[in-house]
Amino acid sequence: INLMEEKVEIEIHYAAEEFSWYAVGFSDRGDAKPADYCILWIDWHRSVNFH
Protein backbone atom coordinates (compact mmCIF):
# COMPACT_ATOMS: atom_id res chain seq x y z
CA ILE A 1 0.00 0.00 0.00
CA ASN A 2 1.38 3.37 -1.05
CA LEU A 3 -0.63 6.03 0.77
CA MET A 4 1.22 8.94 -0.86
CA GLU A 5 0.32 7.79 -4.40
CA GLU A 6 -3.01 6.25 -3.28
CA LYS A 7 -1.98 2.96 -4.87
CA VAL A 8 -2.40 -0.67 -3.86
CA GLU A 9 -0.45 -3.47 -5.56
CA ILE A 10 -1.78 -7.02 -5.26
CA GLU A 11 -0.28 -10.29 -6.48
CA ILE A 12 -2.40 -13.44 -6.69
CA HIS A 13 -1.12 -16.95 -7.37
CA TYR A 14 -3.78 -19.34 -8.60
CA ALA A 15 -3.33 -23.06 -9.35
CA ALA A 16 -6.47 -23.96 -11.28
CA GLU A 17 -8.11 -27.16 -12.31
CA GLU A 18 -9.64 -27.40 -15.77
CA PHE A 19 -12.87 -25.36 -16.18
CA SER A 20 -12.53 -23.75 -12.75
CA TRP A 21 -12.74 -20.08 -11.77
CA TYR A 22 -11.61 -17.70 -9.03
CA ALA A 23 -13.02 -14.31 -8.01
CA VAL A 24 -11.51 -11.46 -5.98
CA GLY A 25 -13.62 -8.60 -4.66
CA PHE A 26 -12.67 -5.09 -3.59
CA SER A 27 -14.77 -2.70 -1.56
CA ASP A 28 -14.17 0.52 0.34
CA ARG A 29 -15.34 -0.97 3.64
CA GLY A 30 -14.41 -4.65 3.24
CA ASP A 31 -18.01 -5.77 2.71
CA ALA A 32 -19.02 -8.42 0.16
CA LYS A 33 -21.41 -5.95 -1.47
CA PRO A 34 -21.33 -3.44 -2.91
CA ALA A 35 -17.92 -4.36 -4.32
CA ASP A 36 -15.96 -4.57 -7.55
CA TYR A 37 -15.00 -8.10 -8.60
CA CYS A 38 -12.28 -9.54 -10.82
CA ILE A 39 -12.91 -13.02 -12.20
CA LEU A 40 -10.24 -15.40 -13.50
CA TRP A 41 -11.12 -18.62 -15.33
CA ILE A 42 -9.76 -21.22 -17.73
CA ASP A 43 -11.95 -21.88 -20.77
CA TRP A 44 -12.34 -25.00 -22.88
CA HIS A 45 -9.41 -23.85 -25.08
CA ARG A 46 -7.25 -23.87 -21.92
CA SER A 47 -6.90 -20.09 -22.21
CA VAL A 48 -6.77 -17.99 -19.06
CA ASN A 49 -9.38 -15.20 -18.96
CA PHE A 50 -9.41 -12.24 -16.59
CA HIS A 51 -12.32 -9.79 -16.35
- Binned average pLDDT, 10 residues per bin, the chain of 51 residues: 86 78 86 88 86 86
Q: What is the pLDDT of residue 43?
A: 85
Instruction: Tell which phi-psi region holds residue 15, choosing left (phi > 0), alpha (psi between -120 and 50) or beta.
Output: beta
Report the alpha-carbon angle 33-40-23, nearest 5.
25
pTM for the model stands at 0.58
Q: What is the pLDDT of residue 15?
A: 79
